[in-house]
Amino acid sequence: MTAVYETSPTPSTQSIVTELDALESESIFVFREVAAEFERPVILFSGGKDSIVMLHLARKAFAPAPVPFTLLHVDTGHNFQEVLDYRDATVAALGLRLEVAKVEDYLADGRLRERSDGTRNQLQTIPLLDAINGHRFDAVFGGGRRDEERARAKERIYSLRDEFGQWDPRNQRPELWSLYNGKHKPGEHVRVFPLSNWTELDIWNYIEREQIPLPSIYYAHERDVFERDGMLLAVGPYSQPRSGETVSSRLVRYRTVGDMSCTGAVASTAASPAEVVIEVAASEITERGATRADDRASEAAMEDRKREGYF
Amino acid sequence: MSTLLRLATAGSVDDGKSTLVGRLLHDCKAILADQIAHVQTVSEARGGDFDFALLTDGLRAEREQGITIDVAYRYFATDKRSFILADCPGHVQYTRNTVTGASTADVVIILVDARHGVLEQTRRHLAVAGLLRVPHVVLAVNKIDLVGYDEAVFKGIGKDVSQLADQLGIADVQAIPVSALVGDNVVERSPETAWYDGPTLLEYLENATGRDDISARPLRFPVQYVIRPQTDDQYRDYRGYTGTVASGTVSVGDEVIVLPAGRRTSVSGIDRAVISATSTAVAERPSAVAGEAVTVRLADDLDVARGSVIVAADSSPGTRRELLATVCWLSDRPLTVGARLLIKHTTTTAQAIVTKINGALDLDTLGVIDATGLDLNDIGKVQLKIAAPLAADPYSSNNITGSFLLIDAHDGWTLAAGMIDDEEGELL
């Protein structure tokens, strides 16, 4: 495994422990409900920190038995190698089953075309929906958190999708107490968000507490980057500086992991979960605001993508 | 136990709820620079001042219509504790979302426009808070600046609401004069309301206690899922019952009864997961309290499955196939006597028939009136016959084993939120 932090013995305060315990129990409850009430659940697993925490919680929910779910990765082809390595090492170590839906297969045979800006996050929707239909997955776990974005803040923990994978934000089922209603008709499926109530800071406190290994790009490292739209983009096969953009080697880390061509790094010296916790707590910019060009497209960019079936 | 406090907001249209939430988040420094820049850009594009409501109204339709349509969940923290806030819409059409938000809330903040006083929606939201037994109610008398910071106005509304609260059995109401727009008494104490000596909204929230101690009540442990690894190792014969402790405490050695069968046994082990990057195991622990997700093992080999409820042997609720309950009707489709539905109660889903509608709540008098059906947003009292025995408690003693959903068997829509009445069967 690509374990790349030094275990930090810093004791967490009592209040944080109990808050994390409450969030952990709530998420484990959701995993068990889905395992009991659905036929073919799947966990969306990208190798990003939220999906890693999700898998960790799923393992806790069913221990000592193995996780009773398949994993699905929707692969943009614009990957960080460290993340793919982490994904494959995890799957191998835990004996899990991984399905990969590749955007590049769709580009190769013309079912999808490259966007003019060359980014591929938005191209993931069709391969995702095809994979859900093809494998007849009826519950799809996503690592989305309500603190990430305005449209996500409105989504239920169980979010019903119609036959076209569409989300109708104005027609969501009321979700009361801890009674999750997973009833759906054939062809429909339910997106399940067990991390709904976690914040970015909760995730990092939990990673620290549970000593969960992450891909190395989440911690400070030297990288050749250039600045675009106020973000630091890595020089790589999918993102090259345009004229006027100068490349420099900076100490950076990633707050989110997505399509490499439009996911920005942030300047950072944080080399461990404890240091990231401090950095996140002091941050003046949200996670997606700092790192995701695709969310800046419009006032409701995420809502529009979600309506079409995006994560 | 936890320092996590869950709140829900409720109020009528235009009384400034989203502004209050935006103000609370902003003054707690929970709004970051890019979010502020975004609101500034949009506000300016519309030719107006900084609109706090844009911080929470996230959907296209909400921004277009300037109203909140659906519950938005917000997260913020102070040095004292963390908060999960369910920002619920005010429009009567979306009352079901207020019910949703209130179902998990420790505190519900009900907004009243100081100029308008108590409206029908205020009565409805108070009724919902009372019915769902939300432990604390904050009455935020908003736009106090627009009535010249008049103490008499504040006192008058406070008196109206405490009368209603008495009728509804709400024990704890704290009235606070605020101006969400200006920021009076939200986080900072206002110099304009020298006559008010109570807490600011944030001070109140930081010190409010959660739901009363459910760990002290009798054990209820609904079984979610049975773990049988059948792996070729030390866990070959492992059989554990997973679930979250709904109330009480479970300890190794406890005498318990497994419902609905009614078999008596004892707890032989309580496990929590211990996992590393490559290994998945469990470790024993002596006990677990309400709210904790654990795995329980039993001394005897009984028929235990999803839908079973493990309860304290000396305090079993027994099972019932008929329920008297109060329901909030959440659907456009009316309820009529004889309707065949699904009931979801803890981890059991079963068929149900509505055998009788015993009345509906009249919001004007807060009394029960005769009703032959229930429409969207009605609160009514019904009698149900259930196809399977349920290990149920009155909602007043347990909000998990005392609550249920009614579901449309055909399309799966959630039709109603139900609360099981006390034996005497009073409405509120």
Query: Would you say residue A17 has pLDDT above 50?
Result: no
**B337 and B293 part of one domain:** no
Domain of B44?
A: 4-212
Last-in-domain residue among B170, B186, B212 = B212
User: pLDDT value at position A7?
Assistant: 35
DSSP structure class, residue A224: E
| Element holding A217 (H helix, E strand) | none
**B299 and B163 part of one domain:** no
**B170 and B60 part of one domain:** yes
Which among B224, B285, B331 is the top mutation candidate for probing chain A, defined by the most A β-carbons within 10 Å of its own β-carbon?
Answer: B224
Number of domains in chain B: 3
Q: Give B175-186 as a DSSP string.
A: EEE-BTTTTBTT
- How many Å is the Cα radius of gyration of chain A? 19
Query: Would you say residue A5 has pLDDT above 80?
Result: no
Last-in-domain residue among B242, B277, B312 = B312
Residue A298 pLDDT grade (very low, low, confident, very high; cuts 50, 70, 90): low
What is the identity of the amino acid at A247? V
| Element holding B23 (H helix, E strand) | helix B17-27
Among candidates A206, A190, A200, which has minimal Cα distance to A155? Answer: A190
Tokens of A35: 């395992």
Tell me phi and psi for residue A159, to 5 degrees: -120, 110
User: pLDDT value at position A221?
Assistant: 94
Last-in-domain residue among B182, B212, B242 = B212
Count of A-B CB contacts under 8 Å? 196
Question: Contact A294/B43 with Cβ under 8 angstroms?
Answer: no
**B336 and B238 part of one domain:** no
d(CA A70, CA A141): 10
Of A61, A64, A154, nearest to B238 by CB-CB distance is A64
- E strand spans, B146-262: 173-177, 220-222, 225-227, 240-244, 249-251, 255-259
Query: Would you say residue A2 has pLDDT above 50?
Result: no
Query: Is B427 contained in some domain?
Result: no
Residue B348, domain CATH: 2.40.30.10
User: What was the ipTM of the complex prediction?
Assistant: 0.91
* Class at the top of the CATH hierarchy for domain A14-201+299-307: alpha beta
User: pLDDT value at position B298?
Assistant: 98
Question: Contact B69/B89 with Cβ under 8 angstroms?
Answer: yes
Report domain extents, chain A.
Answer: 14-201+299-307, 215-296
DSSP structure class, residue B233: S
Among candidates A238, A226, A259, which has minimal Cα distance to A83? Answer: A259
Q: What is the mean pLDDT of each run of 10 residues along chain B (428 residues)?
A: 79 79 82 74 75 69 65 86 86 78 93 93 91 94 96 97 93 94 93 96 90 84 95 88 96 97 96 90 94 96 95 95 95 94 98 96 87 93 96 94 96 95 59
Query: Is B152 contained in some domain?
Result: yes
CB contact under 8 A, B277 and A213: yes
In chain B, what is the straight-line distance between the N-terminal and C-terminal CA atoms, in Å?
28
Chain B residues inside the 8 Å CB shell of A283: 32
Query: Is B426 contained in some domain?
Result: no
Chain A residues inside the 8 Å CB shell of B42: 299
Query: What pLDDT, in 10s, does the model give residues A213-267?
Result: 999 999 999 999 998 877 888 888 878 888 888 999 999 999 888 788 778 898 9
User: pLDDT value at position A256?
Assistant: 86
Task: Tell me how long chain B is.
Answer: 428
Query: What pLDDT, in 10s, does the model give residues B101-134?
Result: 899 999 999 999 999 999 988 998 999 999 999 9
Provide the chain A residues 174-203 that lie in CB contact (below 8 A) with chain B: 174-179, 181, 183-185, 196-197, 199, 201
User: pLDDT value at position B43?
Assistant: 76
**B242 and B288 part of one domain:** yes
Tokens of B398: 């347990």
Q: How confident is the model over A200-206, as a mean pLDDT?
A: 94
Alpha helix ranges (H) inside B46-199: 60-65, 95-103, 120-131, 151-168
In chain A, the percentage of residues whose pLDDT exceeds 70 is 91
**B242 and B138 part of one domain:** no
Query: Is B414 contained in some domain?
Result: yes
User: pLDDT value at position A229?
Assistant: 79
Query: Is B235 contained in some domain?
Result: yes
**B243 and B307 part of one domain:** yes
Among candidates A182, A176, A179, A169, which has minimal Cα distance to B99? Answer: A176
CB contact under 8 A, A32 and B404: no
Residue A6 pLDDT grade (very low, low, confident, very high; cuts 50, 70, 90): very low
Query: Is B47 contained in some domain?
Result: yes
User: pLDDT value at position A300?
Assistant: 67
Residue A295 pLDDT grade (very low, low, confident, very high; cuts 50, 70, 90): low
**B199 and B145 part of one domain:** yes
Query: What pLDDT, in 10s, does the model give residues B311-347?
Result: 999 999 999 999 999 999 999 999 999 999 999 999 9
**B285 and B358 part of one domain:** no
HEC readout, B56-99: CCCCHHHHHHCCCCCCEEEEEECCCCEEEEEECCCCHHHHHHHH
Residue B109, number of CB atoms within 10 A of its CB: 30
Q: Give A154-209 as a DSSP string.
A: G--SEEEE-TT----GGGPPP-BTTB------TT-EEEE-TTTT--HHHHHHHHHH
User: pLDDT value at position A44?
Assistant: 97
CB contact under 8 A, A172 and B70: yes
> Which has more pLDDT, B72 or A139?
A139
